[in-house]
């Protein structure tokens, strides 16, 4: 059984975010499945997952900046930490070929992601809805007032 599967408990009712999260879960499952195959399969699956995660987190951080989040916030900090670990494991995998390390990464991300999605990403989705933010165009229907304090916490705060 997969370490993490998509379910409606992960859905945040923000279509772009939900689509990206669904893809994250599928690509993580592809890494897990590749562990039972060949080395090139692991290389490819892990590379696709790393690329997706870099883009996924960069998108969310760009949205947060548009919504008035402070440059340094715990949501972005958590992204940076996960990316650091992901890149280190990818490098170690390529240099040492340690399947157990990749297997451990999959298990840890499968535990981390639901909590992250249901807390920090849910708060981001709520802020997007509150401000009428369209992630595809960057358009804000209800932006924060000029001079409003930046959002510094892990979640949402009204302007």
Domain extents for the chain?
15-131
User: Cβ–Cβ contacts within 10 Å for residue 79, how many?
Assistant: 21
Q: Indicate the average pLDDT of the chain.
A: 91
Q: What are phi and psi of 24, to 5 degrees?
A: -55, -50
Q: How confident is the model at residue 155 (pLDDT cuts 50, 70, 90)?
A: low
Strand, helix or coil for residue 113: helix
Report the alpha-carbon distance of residue 25 to residue 4 in Å, rounded: 7
pTM assigned to the model: 0.91
Q: What are phi and psi of 140, to 5 degrees?
A: -115, 125
Give, in degrees to the nearest 5, the angle at Cα 26 between 25 and 29.
85
Fold held by 15-131: 1.20.120
CB of 53 within 8 A of CB of 23?
no
Q: What is the pLDDT of residue 123?
A: 93
Long-range pairs, 20-23, Cβ under 8 A, ≥24? 20/56, 20/59, 21/113, 21/117, 21/121, 23/52, 23/56
pLDDT: which is higher, 143 or 40: 40
Both tokens of 82, joined, read 């996960």
Task: Provide the β-strand partners of residue 140.
Answer: 133
């Amino acid at each position: 059984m997969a370490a993490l599967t998509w379910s409606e408990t992960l859905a945040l009712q923000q279509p772009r975010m939900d689509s990206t999260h669904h893809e994250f879960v599928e690509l993580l499952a592809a890494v897990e499945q590749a562990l039972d195959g060949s080395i090139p399969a692991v290389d490819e699956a892990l590379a696709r997952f790393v690329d997706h995660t870099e883009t996924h987190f960069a998108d969310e951080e760009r949205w947060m900046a548009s919504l008035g989040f402070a440059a340094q916030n715990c949501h972005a900090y958590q992204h940076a930490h996960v990316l650091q670990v992901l890149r280190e494991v990818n490098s170690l995998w390529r240099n040492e070929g340690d399947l157990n390390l990749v297997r451990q990464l999959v298990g840890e991300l499968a535990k981390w992601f639901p909590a992250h999605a249901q807390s920090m990403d849910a708060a981001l989705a709520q802020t997007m809805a509150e401000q009428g933010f369209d992630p595809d165009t960057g358009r804000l229907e209800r932006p924060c007032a000029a001079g409003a304090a930046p959002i510094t916490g892990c979640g949402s705060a009204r302007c």
